[in-house]
Structure 1
């Protein structure tokens, strides 16, 4: 999954006496020895309890699982929890290969209720009782097997896992009003499998990300009190437990680590190299306190919650022929955005996907071939990097890309605000909000992109598949009937007054997709043809066109200070297909490197956005419509406004920790809700 970059050995300076041996600087960290650390997961751990063989008074009930406390969708039938604690272990290393043993103990707050009445017969009502399951302790003893390169270690783990559980039951007596209580304490022991990566920040400190799956098995069948009354009787059940946990970890290595040089100190890229292998991993933890919310709809933002997302991507490249390259990007993703990535049109976590999962989910996000046709003249050397084999190419060239990719790889780029893994995270700031680029749920599509490039400008166009319907993970195969087209002109300049580079991008897009017309579905609902406007939308979807544009400016003011701005709009007549519920947007901000305070690798950013929707789109939401991301059930319209600031702290060339704050006024265009404040941290590594 993660890069195993070419290992190189840097040597110390020659002594004046040539007989003196050279000091050898290792190409990778030696992780041998003992270590201690702390670990935690805020909203990126999931636990499930499966009840089975349950009976009340001898009557068998169907199996059921704990659900989500919000009463909405149940996060793939798993319950979110926070986990954190201590770990320690010992490593042995032979060259780059590592093996070791580790133990950890973590506290948790997994609590979920199960209502018994929902599983009884029609005569028992809904108040037979409530069973609550609680876990507050997890522990593992694991072996580790890994590979070290540069400052990183990639490893797999396996071993034993355990947890406690308390099953608490409350059974009301409807005749007397009394309440019967029951409790059972359980212990689980099972196995755990996982993987992780860690990075040496200094000689004694390392940061890492660790995933583990725990299959804790099931309990024996046990008694759990008695439900009073004629419909009741003795309760018996058994419970199986499992968990997915993603931990951020900080470890201390008292024996010290010998560090290799930073990657940029290594020799330059070899233009004859045919392979490229890189990777990235990003963890975002984000929380929102409570805010004013007099009512809640099916796609509303919920206050007082914390969620986290994790992605890990491999960037594999192969130069088939000179000018012909093949790339493949498998990616693991885990976790959910706040409220399952719902409730804010300019959503607050750019790493959050609509296809979230409580366990690491593997997707082939990119696979494409790139053919470059040089047109002569001046050339440029392109170093090895993610999805780029080191090469020399003509500046004036035609490039053709065919396969699966993200339109953001080529369109609407901006050096200061375009990558939520390292800069702004708000969807309305890192992208043109009204640009409804075709994509599946994780943000990728299939098609062809063609670009003509010169030193002064570039013009590019793409023809790609669209989803089969709004927010669908399935791309429509009928590309000659339904597809998306994007054209962008990119102008490059040196601003004379500042003598600094800048770019202006102008983009136009038109999508033909299976969508509903807002005016039509509002009229049908108000006429009583449909009781629910969302049923009207689903029933009347047909091939319809949505068009729009964006303007995108980036300008360096000094080598450390840059500004950016975007303006975008679409026709606002039909449902959006892929991105979000924005018909017009204005955004901008500044990005400043930390050279002035002695931290040139750090970045601080300030950005803001203002998003709006058309009049017919407002009527859709006011009548109970649910869009791609929002839907409060009604609407007191006002533009959605966002402010975001972040500080990205560079710990090494490959490792960055960011602190993020966002303030959203009128989330989901609803002045009845909010304002809401969002606090986040982000750990990102690439190599």
Structure 2
């Protein structure tokens, strides 16, 4: 059975530290013919540009952590005089295998030259990258007629070693950022290796064909100036290398064999992080101030973010592997890019829209660990940039008088003045994580902790589709000392479904949270305590029922029993969430959560109880006040009936090894977030997971990651 994929909760939109988009293009000419006796008023000097001048040459290195995907398409293949159905190494189930088992790293060198007029840029760039993009097709592939009795006999294997492109670039500069589109020529090599089992004599025959491709590439990217000579960026390109002419691949020996010939085409999606060196120096704009974002008369808000996460896991103890197990020796990466658009319709009435591109996969297709290790993997899940409308909602605020507060412009927030005592109503599509289970130290995997059991209450099975969003209504009553909020939202049609159930009056989710705010007298520092309760009614299976039916022989596979017996069932639970500042630079946090554990989870992950906590420290003590170091830990568990489900071969939202030697899943995470400027942060992340998927027979596993996050 194909495992179900889960991409969890969307993180709360983060308020950026950089100024809004600024573009200054006007300049005033100087005074000519002036003298000391000239009584005319001098014209002001041209203001400094509000964007980087990227003109000049540059060199750099680029690399992808498993986020480059290719599809080799074999067409019109014949064995002897028998036609074989065409197949791809990158489609349907083949693509799943590519992202899960194949090594797909790409990396190399690039260089180019830019010309810039005002904020507009044009340039030319060339790059050459080594690649390890490969794919094997089993001898049991459809149409070839061979049983997969010996896995050593793969019928066709494909591998490419080198990519190269020559591209033109058109870009637009603002602040320290450059966004650009690219187009041009691309080339690559490929090796086709065929292995044919000899059905008469035994053994195998082999054949090899070296191919060269030349085609075109289209792409886009963003880069940020870190200093006068260094820039970081993220670059995407689509590569279409066309097809080869017909070529021979030897002959299949034995019964039913004959000469083999085929044609092959190749396309690829590549997403790479880039570090560039500008020897001539970049002309940097002056540091922007945040004060410009507080104009209470403005009606529009425009912000954006992009986050790139590359994560790898070395080998670990794994005596057996199931359909949803973590696989060792792999690297994967995810990329998201979001626009936060806001419009003030009336005083107190605002409309927001968040389109988002996402690409990439978590390790093992975001499978194998209940408290998964990449919080951004919830948003990705495609080998190419996928556009979704993640949020669209109306927010209505009813002021109740008394003291007011000024709210600065930010993501999903038009600058405004509002009453502290107020009622807020949000209706539309949003993430429950925007309003519930918040925590200033551990809630946004784009900038702080990435483990699902640390940045969220693991047993809170919030309603959401695959990327982590739902539709419904949220109401909040706010005062200075506390807030009470509640939401009534749609649930998925079935566990881990991308489709929300339209039967909202029969199947829906309800969450209620009380948030208390305080200042501890001893520390004289602020803190918050959140208590949340949730109850969902969704189309799920009961663990005890499906285990009993399977053990009684009614179903041969427990996952078939689960699919056949799903019905409207309720899941209920709670969470406690504490954040407390100890000093202005040091904070601590803790979470406890649990649910009834009787039926399948609908949306988040396979956790029935969870405890987590940690500390967050700013770098003021070592002269880096904008840097952050975090230490966190979690322990997750599941109910007795949930354990029996996995022990009998069950597959959950994220885990399923085929069997289970139960122990709680424990995780430790640490990160260092290095703020390069007000816009750009680079983080280094390490996680250690004991008993991944609650299985003492597997692990422990170590995870190493890097993260680039930029917002404006």
Instruction: Sort the TM-score into its range (normalised by shorter chain).
Output: over 0.9
Contact 1:467/1:513 (<8 A) preserved: yes
Q: Which residue of 1 aligns with 2:432?
A: 407
Aligned pairs (5 A) from 1:25-44: 25-44=48-67
The correspondence for 1:327, drawn from 324, 334, 352, is 352
> Would you say 1:269 and 2:294 are equivalent positions?
yes
Q: In structure 2, how many angstroms separate the alpha carbons of the residues matched to 1:80 and 1:639?
A: 31
Distance 1:125 1:613, change over 3 A: closer
Q: CA deviation at 1:470?
A: 0.5
Q: CA deviation at 1:182?
A: 2.1
Q: In structure 2, how many angstroms separate the alpha carbons of the residues matched to 1:426 and 1:122?
A: 45
Q: Which residue of 1 aligns with 2:388?
A: 363
Distance 1:661 1:405, change over 3 A: same
Q: CA deviation at 1:532?
A: 1.0
Q: Deviations over 1:335-394 (max 9, x none)?
A: 111111011110000000276000001000000000011111111111110000111111
Q: In structure 2, how many angstroms separate the alpha carbons of the residues matched to 1:180 and 1:617?
A: 48
Distance 1:472 1:389, change over 3 A: same
SS at match of 1:392: strand
Contact 1:492/1:501 (<8 A) preserved: yes
Q: CA deviation at 1:26?
A: 1.7
The runs of 5 or more residues in structure 2 that have no matched partner are 1-15, 28-35
Q: Which residue of 1 aligns with 2:449?
A: 424
The correspondence for 1:94, drawn from 117, 132, 136, is 117
Aligned pairs (5 A) from 1:216-615: 216-264=241-289, 267-353=292-378, 356-615=381-640
Runs of 4+ off more than 4 Å: 8-11, 17-23, 75-80, 120-129
Report how many aligned residue pairs link the two structures: 681
Q: Which residue of 2 aligns with 1:643?
A: 668
> Would you say 1:667 and 2:683 are equivalent positions?
no
Q: In structure 1, how many angstroms separate the alpha carbons of the residues matched to 2:210 and 2:464?
A: 48
Distance 1:24 1:123, change over 3 A: closer
Distance 1:115 1:616, change over 3 A: closer
Deviates more, 1:79-88 or 1:564-573: 79-88
Q: In structure 1, how many angstroms separate the alpha carbons of the residues matched to 2:53 and 2:590?
A: 46
Q: Deviations over 1:619-653 (max 9, x none)?
A: 11111111111111111111110000000011111
Q: CA deviation at 1:266?
A: 5.8
Contact 1:118/1:126 (<8 A) preserved: no
Q: CA deviation at 1:231?
A: 2.0
**Which gives a bigger RCO, structure 1 or 2 (Cα 8 Å, sep 6+)?**
2
Q: Which residue of 2 aligns with 1:168?
A: 193
SS at match of 2:544: helix
* TM-score of the superposed pair, with normalisation by structure 1: 0.95
> Would you say 1:112 and 2:135 are equivalent positions?
yes
Q: Which residue of 1 aligns with 2:207?
A: 182
Q: CA deviation at 1:66?
A: 2.1
Q: In structure 2, how many angstroms separate the alpha carbons of the residues matched to 1:9 and 1:601?
A: 31
Distance 1:563 1:109, change over 3 A: same
Q: In structure 2, how many angstroms separate the alpha carbons of the residues matched to 1:71 and 1:242?
A: 14
Aligned pairs (5 A) from 1:10-21: none
Q: CA deviation at 1:174?
A: 3.5
> Would you say 1:82 and 2:98 are equivalent positions?
no
Q: In structure 1, how many angstroms separate the alpha carbons of the residues matched to 2:384 and 2:94?
A: 21
Q: CA deviation at 1:67?
A: 5.7
Distance 1:500 1:266, change over 3 A: closer
Q: CA deviation at 1:4?
A: 7.6
SS at match of 2:292: coil
Q: In structure 2, how many angstroms separate the alpha carbons of the residues matched to 1:458 and 1:119?
A: 60
SS at match of 2:163: strand
Contact 2:379/2:468 (<8 A) preserved: no
Q: CA deviation at 1:667?
A: 0.6
> Would you say 1:5 and 2:21 are equivalent positions?
yes
> Would you say 1:51 and 2:69 are equivalent positions?
no
Q: In structure 2, how many angstroms separate the alpha carbons of the residues matched to 1:590 and 1:500?
A: 15
Q: In structure 2, how many angstroms separate the alpha carbons of the residues matched to 1:334 and 1:343?
A: 20
Q: In structure 2, how many angstroms separate the alpha carbons of the residues matched to 1:94 and 1:144?
A: 14
Q: CA RMSD in A?
A: 2.3
Contact 1:317/1:327 (<8 A) preserved: yes
Q: In structure 2, how many angstroms separate the alpha carbons of the residues matched to 1:173 and 1:132?
A: 17
Q: CA deviation at 1:97?
A: 1.2
Q: Which residue of 2 aligns with 1:194?
A: 219
Q: Which residue of 1 aligns with 2:85?
A: 62
Deviates more, 1:296-305 or 1:167-176: 167-176
Q: CA deviation at 1:665?
A: 0.6
Q: In structure 1, how many angstroms separate the alpha carbons of the residues matched to 2:371 and 2:100?
A: 27
Distance 1:38 1:303, change over 3 A: same
Q: In structure 1, how many angstroms separate the alpha carbons of the residues matched to 2:559 and 2:567?
A: 15
Q: In structure 1, how many angstroms separate the alpha carbons of the residues matched to 2:25 and 2:578?
A: 42
Q: Deviations over 1:60-113 (max 9, x none)?
A: 111112269x99942589965111111111111111111111111111011222
Q: In structure 2, how many angstroms separate the alpha carbons of the residues matched to 1:266 and 1:240?
A: 54
Contact 1:75/1:358 (<8 A) preserved: no
Q: Deviations over 1:633-678 (max 9, x none)?
A: 1111111100000000111111011000000111111111111111
> Would you say 1:621 and 2:646 are equivalent positions?
yes
Q: In structure 1, how many angstroms separate the alpha carbons of the residues matched to 2:711 and 2:464?
A: 24
Q: In structure 2, how many angstroms separate the alpha carbons of the residues matched to 1:106 and 1:319?
A: 47
Contact 1:47/1:80 (<8 A) preserved: no
Q: In structure 1, how many angstroms separate the alpha carbons of the residues matched to 2:272 and 2:345?
A: 39
The correspondence for 2:704, drawn from 655, 679, 682, is 679
Q: Deviations over 1:101-158 (max 9, x none)?
A: 1111111011222234534465788678622211111111111111111000111111
Q: In structure 1, how many angstroms separate the alpha carbons of the residues matched to 2:500 and 2:45?
A: 58
Q: In structure 1, how many angstroms separate the alpha carbons of the residues matched to 2:413 and 2:80?
A: 67
Q: In structure 2, how many angstroms separate the alpha carbons of the residues matched to 1:220 and 1:165?
A: 14
Deviates more, 1:597-606 or 1:257-266: 257-266
Contact 1:47/1:79 (<8 A) preserved: no
Q: Which residue of 2 aligns with 1:14?
A: none
Distance 1:338 1:323, change over 3 A: same
* TM-score of the superposed pair, with normalisation by structure 2: 0.92
The runs of 5 or more residues in structure 1 that have no matched partner are 12-16
Q: CA deviation at 1:42?
A: 1.3
